[in-house]
Structure 1
């Protein structure tokens, strides 16, 4: 699906007209391509703590141009504010205003990151205020950035340091084009688990991954992205989608399994197929889902039960089988596709929002069960993504949804796939029970 308006205002006469009339001018986002530089331009690491020095040293080891202080009028690729040691709200002023002085020097598609610690009941009131203040600051700053730049935050729990594997992996994800449509979001790194890959362009090499709902749309794009990143794939979809499923499976050199995931034995059949064809299974991507929209006053049993069964009950049954299987692992990964509808709600989607809210609850409760084996489970919550489904939205509503986020455009299926691939990687082993929104910083229902 093409955003023709965005194309128009980014070239020639259309650009000039939009500028004169004050119309939205969504930028062309910097998206990931294998082999490209992680980021273009210097990275300024700001902060006076020892953690800031350590993070700067790690980034230098990646052959990045790292500065501890900005040079006026030099185009910057990124600003990283290390705020792990703030103890009072007053501590925010110096680093925040220093960053503000460099915002006009950000290059198109630049990144702003905060690295801080989450507020907790164990903190002093002043420390909790300062740490929670980072949240409000970052989300507001993200709304001020322009030209495709984004702002996101990394929260370090307990004794996790910015140089732990998953913290570094999160820094790399947010700096790269993989996070193009992730804006105004925080990821919590809760443990020191995880291992950075030998090849950052193939972080899933040697892994076997299952993707449900893989015949079309976001599911097919997830399959392509995981294949590009090195995974061997088992693709699952309904028998009715068999031809499309086979085509995608052939494209990514994977195997196809025609299966209704709502069957009681779906989990066991997925495990048996993966073991028979590939001898192992390490990654489960729950993408399959349906909508049966209706105002609640007009909702019936068929619409409600079918959405709940496919979107959440099936995942619960499959996860139960995976957790009981000796073939799932080691250090397994589960990633589920949720939705911003499950966070903010959406008119006419009480069933869908309940199911996607259920996915997020499931993720939080399953996380401790997987942690014991070094595994993780996380969710990705897309906002407005350019798909066949959103193409059916009436024109006016579709345009409002597209422009009502900080990046003033819809995301692409590849944006969802990039976030999933990151969370499925070995490097993300310290990120568990999280929900990452891929929505351009909005909560429009998917």
Structure 2
């Protein structure tokens, strides 16, 4: 928000003026700036009977600077305490009865993996109702569950699917505080692979990810990483990397240790080379729809031992209502936004350019989920990206490769700065946080998907939209 509105928000008097006329004054989001740990602060942990993720949660928190609490009034207080102590935590018992909560919390985490009957859902109310007002600005809510379709009964499936509606409602209640709420579903046997998702959700890297679901499935062994440089010794390709979101993706991957190849068309060559120089990467000039481009990519990255990460970010819009849309608008949009990704992936996979343990990340869009007037071609292509990701996940898992997608909402770029003021303001405010996101928010989510320890995160689509009020 590099405009007059943002300047008003940063000024005390300006904020009062905006509030007096009923305009939103969103909380400034805390983003990652090189913190040594993924989480710092007070965290309250609750659990159901037979919860299965407390041990892994406790182990993950060893990499944080967390003061862990558990509710004294919980029926399972002793179970929670023992599980946390098992991996080196020193949990503090605290009174969490309504009207008696004295602590302030930076995160509220509830392990609901033991839910079996719908009456168990009352435990969500018992845990969250007394403490929700004690969550700090930029706080985190995390609910852990199991995939509902893997349940042992219809009643348990109902419980697990209920977690999504509950968490998304909480996200809407706390969004104005810059706080977020998510669900992580962990498949039986994949508990040891959940740390990557837990760290991401609790960290500042997920600042604009809200009301989302992350699925963790079975894969290979747990992989240990340096949280500050998780992509050390990895090679990445980012298409459309000359500016905007693509530039931010390339920068974040390089920050995390990757050698980054940035690819874009000839018209952007000057910007592309500037980005490559700034991040110590390599500029590749090419049209992703051209027949020779996949081979050009393969030849370029061979000297670095092939690719570990491919980010399909390049895309275009050619907007017209379907009745007024020229045929070439349709063809260009589908070719660039969807077909080129399939062609490049197919070539690189067939020629073993993507290494074992590789990561493919595709950029979809909220408009691919919700649709948009005048964007039938764009929405079709971005919905197609989601279908492609979901189908390919099982195929690629056999090769120990993951594929995931991000679906950005209103992200502040030079393109959005050119939108008329009122239209831009509506776009910014149509989410639970009442503000637009930044390119780095998309980039951080892509970096999470790209990390070696995200080997259990496959076939996911995460909306980076501050919980947009339109769409799924």
TM-score class normalised by the smaller sequence = over 0.9
Shift of 1:29: 0.2
Q: In 2, are the aligned partners of 1:205 and 1:231 still within 8 Å (CA)?
A: yes
| Counterpart in the other structure of 1:261 | 288
Give secondary structure in 2 for the equivalent of 1:107. strand
| Counterpart in the other structure of 1:160 | 190
Give secondary structure in 1 for the equivalent of 2:148. coil
Counterparts of 1:50 and 1:82, CA distance in 2: 6
From 424, 444, 449, the counterpart of 1:418: 444
Query: Deviation per CA, 1:210-259, whole angstroms, max 9, x where unpaired?
Result: 00000111001101000000000111000111111000000011111100
Counterparts of 1:58 and 1:246, CA distance in 2: 43
Q: In 2, are the aligned partners of 1:336 and 1:378 still within 8 Å (CA)?
A: yes
Q: 1:263 to 1:195 in 2, by over 3 A?
A: farther
| Counterpart in the other structure of 2:41 | 41
Counterparts of 1:27 and 1:246, CA distance in 2: 36
Q: In 2, are the aligned partners of 1:156 and 1:188 still within 8 Å (CA)?
A: yes
TM-score of the superposed pair, with normalisation by structure 1:
0.95
From 59, 72, 90, the counterpart of 2:119: 90
Counterparts of 1:194 and 1:360, CA distance in 2: 27
| Counterpart in the other structure of 1:213 | 240
Q: In 2, are the aligned partners of 1:6 and 1:25 still within 8 Å (CA)?
A: no
Query: Deviation per CA, 1:72-123, whole angstroms, max 9, x where unpaired?
Result: 2212110011100111221011233322211111111110001001222754
Q: In 2, are the aligned partners of 1:331 and 1:375 still within 8 Å (CA)?
A: yes
From 124, 147, 151, the counterpart of 2:177: 147
Shift of 1:193: 3.3
Query: Deviation per CA, 1:399-442, whole angstroms, max 9, x where unpaired?
Result: 11101100100000000000001101111111111111100001
| Counterpart in the other structure of 1:312 | 338
Aligned residue pair count: 441
| Counterpart in the other structure of 1:179 | 206
Counterparts of 1:129 and 1:279, CA distance in 2: 47
Counterparts of 2:137 and 2:273, CA distance in 1: 40
* Aligned residues: CA RMSD: 1.8
Counterparts of 1:88 and 1:42, CA distance in 2: 31
Q: In 2, are the aligned partners of 1:59 and 1:66 still within 8 Å (CA)?
A: no
| Counterpart in the other structure of 2:98 | none
From 220, 225, 235, the counterpart of 2:252: 225
Q: 1:61 to 1:266 in 2, by over 3 A?
A: same
Alignment of 1:242-391 (within 5 A): 242-276=269-303, 278-391=304-417
Counterparts of 2:217 and 2:295, CA distance in 1: 31
Range with greater deviation from structure 2 (126-135 or 422-431): 126-135
Shift of 1:443: 5.7
| Counterpart in the other structure of 1:64 | 66
Give secondary structure in 2 for the equivalent of 1:111. strand
Give secondary structure in 2 for the equivalent of 1:436. strand
Range with greater deviation from structure 2 (5-14 or 219-228): 5-14
